[in-house]
Every structure is written in C-alpha cells, then in structure tokens.
Amino acid sequence: MAVRRIAFAWESFGPSHLDRIEAAAAAGWSVTAIEFSPASSEYLWEQGELAGARKVTLTRADERVGTIRLAWRLFRAVRRSGSDVAFLSHYNELRVFLAAVLLRLVGCRVITLMVSKFDDYPRLLWREVGKALMLAPYDGVLVASRRTADYMRFLGFRRRPIANSLDSLDLARLRRLGTAEEAVAHADRDFLIVARLVEKKNLHFALRAYAEWTRNAVHPRRLRIIGYGHLEPELRALAGELGIADRVVFMGVAESAQVCQAMRDALCLILPSTEEQFGFVVIEALAQGLPVLVSANAGAVDELIDNGVNGWIVDPYRPQALIAAMALLDRDETVWTKASEAANTTAERGDVRHFVSGVAALLGR
C-alpha cells in the first residue's frame, strides 16, 4: 500500500510546528513541511532541526516576494511534493487563498488550520462575509478548540468536516526540558508569566492584581515575567508606580529549556489575556505540573482546564477572581499540591498525538 503524501504550510516554523510535523511523519505519512520564510515576522522562535519530514522554504530571509509570486511558489511546492491533501494556515492572506484555489483546480484537497474564535473581538458582518468567501476553497478544517469549531460552523462549515486538536505539543519533549534535580519548596515558589509584552496579554491588569495580592500575602513571592515586546518600559514604569518594582523580575527572552525550568520552579502560571486564540503556554505549564490562572478568553480552557482542579479560569477585566486564586495557592500548600498533581495528570489532553488523530480524521483514515 502506497504511503499517503500530505503537506503542511505555515509562515515559519517554531518548536510547536516541528512537534506537530514530526508527529505526523512518525504516524506513517510522507510529510512535506512548507514555510513561507525562515523567520517569523512576529515571534522570536528558536530554530530547530526538522526530523522525518521534507522541509521547503519558499523565500530567503532577505527576499521580498509579491503576493502572486509567493502563491505560485506555495502551489508548486505542494504539487512537487506529490501530496493529495494540503493543510494550509493563514487562510485570510490573499497569497494563501490563491494557492488554495489553484490546488483545488488540479484536484488537491485543501484543509485550513484555524485558531480564531467568535469571541476574540467584536465582529462586523461585512468582514465575516469576506472570511466565508476566503474559506470557500477549503474541504475541511482542523481547529484548536470547541469555540473555534463553533465559529467555523458560523462561517459555513456545517457540512464540511471539522476536526479538533490543532494546537498541541510533544509532552515528552517538554518534560525532558523541565527536569529538575530537586523540587522547590512551596514557600519558595514565585508567580510566573510567559507572554509577549503586548496589549492583548493584559499585563497591566496582571501587575495591578499582583500589587493588590501583596497587601495580604503570606509568602514574599516575586512575579517573574518571561517575554519580550514593546510594552516592557511601560510595564516597568507601572511596577514602580505600584511600589512593586523590587518584586517584579523581567527575565526577557528565554529558550524553551529555560521556560520549562522556570515552570518547574513556579507556583502557578498567570495568563490574563483579553484576546487569546488558544495559548500554547498552558500546555507547557501543565506538562510541568504547574497550575494555571488563565483568562476565560483563551481557547485552551475549552480543552485543557478543569476549573478549580488543574487551574482557575478568571475574568480578564475583573481582578477579584485572579487575586483570590493567587491568595489560595499562596496560603494553602495542600490545594497547590493537588492542583499540581492534576495539572500533570491532565496535561495529556494537549499532547501532539491528538493532532495526529485530527489529521487522520480529516484524511478519512
């Protein structure tokens, strides 16, 4: 029996993409991984070697390529791979839309990869109609969460197949990176944020909640922030105004191993985003046995969080729930221990094997 040939296309590859591509290859498909450029325009992802799949990069780092030309290159890369199914991200970009149309014309099935939810931000009718048109070439969709699936039905995927678990990671890799020689005592653990320092991550809110928590804190815990972004000077200034500058540690950019180690040593992860399509960092935290205090807006809560068990779901506009959860984990070591154990147990929900299952469902295996 011939090996099924499939292709995946993203703007560029970070660790999460490599996890999924390699898992698909390990499942027995012949995989071609296509990236538009060797570096992301938005993320400072670590560069890694891709195992088990053929990698194609459509442009050089310093090369400027127009929409039509890149669409043609994407089309040709899929055709040359011999793939009969192409999984394409960035449906909303004209270059991807044109490539999808061309692939459909030559008999290749195209599947879109989707993380957006209806509640990400206010929706306008004319934009939603435009999105439905941009999605017309696709035979199916691989989504990140239940809310994404609902949104895709709204956009016209009522009869076209929908499969879940787009956003997942290799738990074995994460746990190898997070190994620790000895556990940190509950009293010595700090709060942790891992996020880009941009508006939608709602970090001003987090700093104010942390400042409020410090008034009645039992343990002198710090707030450690791993990430980069244009808001860093503003956030540092706010920490000073709130009188917590000596307790907030801006750790800057960190590699995956450093992030995993920080998670192993933390009390909990805080992710209070006002807009968060999914939140890979939640999977990373759970894999290290780290409870999460996560915004209800994050798609990850649909799939990963049992409220009050492995994490707490909080309102990103009202700080009381976040402060109460911080206080509970600070004061009660028994509650924290149970939440940590539950995080470790339920992390499997975010494992990359579920991505493989979703791909298989759309292929009709």
- CATH code of the region 172-350: 3.40.50.2000
CATH of segment(s) 5-164: 3.40.50.2000
* Within this chain, domains 5-164 and 172-350 share the same CATH topology: yes
Q: Annotate 93-133 with three-state secondary structure.
A: CHHHHHHHHHHHHCCCEEEEEECCCHHHCCCCHHHHHHHHH
CA atoms of 13 and 31, how far apart (whole Å):
14
pLDDT of residue 1: 58
> For residue 133, what pLDDT is reported?
97
Domain boundaries, the chain: 5-164, 172-350
Tokens representing 58 are 């459509």
Q: Is the distance from CB of 314 to CB of 322 less than 8 angstroms?
A: yes
Please give the distance of CA 2 from its chain centroid, rounded to a whole number.
Answer: 33
pLDDT tens digits, the chain, 365 residues: what are they?
A: 578 999 999 999 999 999 999 999 999 999 999 999 998 888 888 888 899 999 999 999 888 899 999 999 999 999 999 999 999 999 999 999 999 999 999 999 999 999 999 999 999 999 999 999 999 999 999 999 999 999 999 999 999 999 999 999 999 999 999 877 788 999 999 999 999 999 999 999 999 999 999 999 999 999 999 999 999 999 999 999 999 999 999 999 999 999 999 999 999 999 999 999 999 999 999 999 999 999 999 999 999 999 999 999 999 999 999 999 999 999 999 999 999 999 999 999 999 999 999 999 999 95
pLDDT of residue 355: 98
Output the pLDDT for position 282. 98
Taking the model in full, what pTM does it have?
0.95
Predicted confidence at residue 365, as pLDDT, reads: 55
Q: What is the pLDDT of residue 45?
A: 84
Identify residue 237 by its one-letter amino acid code. A
Query: What is the number of alpha carbons within 13 Å of residue 249 lying toward its C-beta?
Result: 10
What is the C-alpha to C-alpha distance for residues 158 and 146, in angstroms, rounded to an integer?
Answer: 14
Q: What is the pLDDT of residue 261?
A: 95
Rg (CA), the chain: 21
Phi, psi of 205 (to 5 degrees): -60, -45
Work out the number of other CB atoms within 10 angstroms of the CB of residue 336.
Answer: 18
